[in-house]
Structure 1
Amino acid sequence: SFVEAPLASVISLQDRSCGSGLQPSPTTVQITPPGEGCNQDLLLSLIQPRCSDDVMTLVLRKDLISTLGCIITSLTFWDPSCQAEDTDDKFVLRGTYSSCGMKVAENVVISNEVVVNLLSSSSPQRKQVQCINLDSLSFQLGLYLSPHFLQASNTIELGQQGFVQVSMSPSIPELMTQLDSC
């Protein structure tokens, strides 16, 4: 697909959900009032993977877990042999892209499931997590002189209308490119 952009001097493409781009601002979390037990939805919202090289890592701070009224008895990936390291102040769950039940699509999207067992619940809480391996993606940007994208050009005259085509390979259904602004 394509988007016709107005005259512009600069066009930039960003994917805010990937890699080392813009970091999300901290999320405001509603605290569970005392005596209401573990707020499982808020606990699951704290599970956010960080991805680097060949490793997916999740860190849960114990002070936040305690504030939510939760007591974690175990934290694993889908493969229960991949257990979180329990330190004084946090749980750290870590696994390589080739272990712990990781699923890799097109060598780009790495996904898994985090399983949280709580003292207050007989059934485990589960959350799907994923990482995007940007090193395996290739983006191409083409400049054209017509909306039919037939005549490619390396230059464009000042004030002349141009058409930009962006493509990504491999093409992955889970990823969508979008023009944010010009």
Structure 2
Amino acid sequence: MKKENWTFGLSIASIVISVTTLWLCKMDIKPYDTDGASLSIAVLTLVVTIYMANQIYNAFVLKREIKKSTQKDIEESSNNILYHNMYLTFFFQGVNELKKTHSEAALYYLFKSMECLTKTNIDKDKMDEIIMKIKIIHKDYPVKLSKDDVFEYKRIIHLADIKEKKEVMSILDDMEAKV
């Protein structure tokens, strides 16, 4: 920030010097003759100084904007990587639980993987694979879920961009334990 203040101060000083030079050329002071060349040099100096001050200001604004944009891109990429890794962890844990026929645990991990997948823009096509695993659990392994679990899983389904929303909702309704 000090460099910006120093440069801004220098720009202001050069503008003041240019205006003073223009004023001195306009006056009839004996050491200074007013001729067309000196007047045009003073005006050109003022124009160049204003142009340079504008360029310096634009460079600082551009630097700030690039820094903000870069920071935003880094945060977005970091979130994508984080949620994608979480998706992979949950998905493979769900598949592992499915192999052990722990259906409730498998559903938990599959829905958590779906939730992570909604927060990233990597591998969106993997949502179909998760839905397929949920359908396998519904068809092959009877599961009774609590009302809270069904509510949570439906919340995740609403977040997800899938074409089989109604079908998965009805599967969850079938799995809900009626008390």
Query: Who wins on radius of gyration, i.e. which is larger?
Result: 2
| TM-score normalised by the chain length of structure 1 | 0.26
What TM-score results when the alignment is normalised by the length of structure 2? 0.26
Larger RCO (CA within 8 A; separation ≥ 6): 1
Richer in helix (by share):
2
